[in-house]
Amino acid sequence: MATTLETDLLVIGAGPTGLFSAYYAGFRGLRVAVVDSLPELGGQITAMYPEKAILDVAGFPTVKGRDLVAGLVEQAGTADPTYLLGRTASALTSGPDSVTIGLDDGTEVVAKAILITAGIGKFSPRPLPAADGWEGRGVEFFVPSFDPYADKDVVIVGGGDSAFDWALHLEPVARSVTLVHRRDAFRAHARTVEQVRASSVDIVTRAEVTALRGNGTLESVEITVEGEATTRPAQAVVAALGFVADLGAMKEWGLTLDKRHVVVDSAMRTNLHRVFAAGDITEYPGKVRLIAVGFGEAATAVNNAAVVIDPEAHVFPGHSSEGS
């Protein structure tokens, strides 16, 4: 028998924008539920770069991803949200006074408004062909903690921000770090590239990891540079080749999309009644995809949703610093 949950606002996505949305819904006196396909709160930050220093959050000259998430979770907790983790929003049905979202486990959530904060949607890492069968036996796609790499020879494959961030952070922890990329040019931020170049990390370009070897556990990798293969010791490989994003069932909901982004107006309204969006998933003229921008969009979306939920409410809630 399907479980039905009723709430004022359902937030789809438990990343930074979604967590701040949950807090702000509570600030507006709304009941709130949050659904996410990942089993943990924090979205991409928790899954991909919890140790990364984040530099674009107001009030924090620098803050680690995991610390930012911890603060957001604590803040959201004041709204007493209902979390529905490890579940995917699969179906949307609109009614005159509510929107019903069906989850992939059979749960139905009936909400007076929906706020989509799903970032890039559901994402999965791009595979490393040579590592087929080695996942979990020496090959990982994310680095949630540096401790398991202590005193290991680590090979990182990729040329983007994640690859260089992890190389920089693992360099003082691991016995050795080798970064392998198929081109001379990198997609990573230039400053980070220079920091890695100045470290002990061995950068190998015009190269591919073509084989992994070991008896049960990983012992070495074969790196081919312009047709010439060499073998290096490696007890860990991090495949930082990016990821494939998919909006999944949301593509079938009738939302106006611009490629993989949801088009919104200045109130964060989508083309569907009672459905709003905020954060990286949104698109409008002049859009800038930053965590800081997502926080502002969350407040805008929730304040405008509050009026849809209760027509006697006001868009402007008063300042959070004002006394009661």
23 assigned binding-site residue = no
Cα separations (Å) of 129 from 179, 211, 239, 256, 304?
17, 9, 10, 36, 47
- Torsions phi, psi of 225, nearest 5? -115, 110
98 assigned binding-site residue = no
195 assigned binding-site residue = no
49 assigned binding-site residue = yes
165/214 Cα distance (integer angstroms):
27
Cα separations (Å) of 93 from 34, 86, 161?
18, 21, 39
231 assigned binding-site residue = no
Retrieve residue 297's tokens: 């969009």
53/251 Cα distance (integer angstroms):
33
Retrieve residue 289's tokens: 């995809």
Retrieve residue 321's tokens: 């610093």
- Torsions phi, psi of 155, nearest 5? -115, 125
Is 302 in contact with 25 (CB distance < 8 Å)? yes
89 assigned binding-site residue = yes
| CB-neighbour burial class of residue 203 (10 A; exposed 0-12, middle 13-18, buried 19+) | buried
Maximum distance among all alpha carbons in the chain? 72
Nearest to 243 by CA among 151, 134, 119, 154: 119
Would you list which residues are annotated within the binding site? Answer: 17, 36, 44, 49, 89, 123, 280, 321
Would you list which residues are annotated within the binding site for FAD? Answer: 17, 36, 44, 49, 89, 123, 280, 321
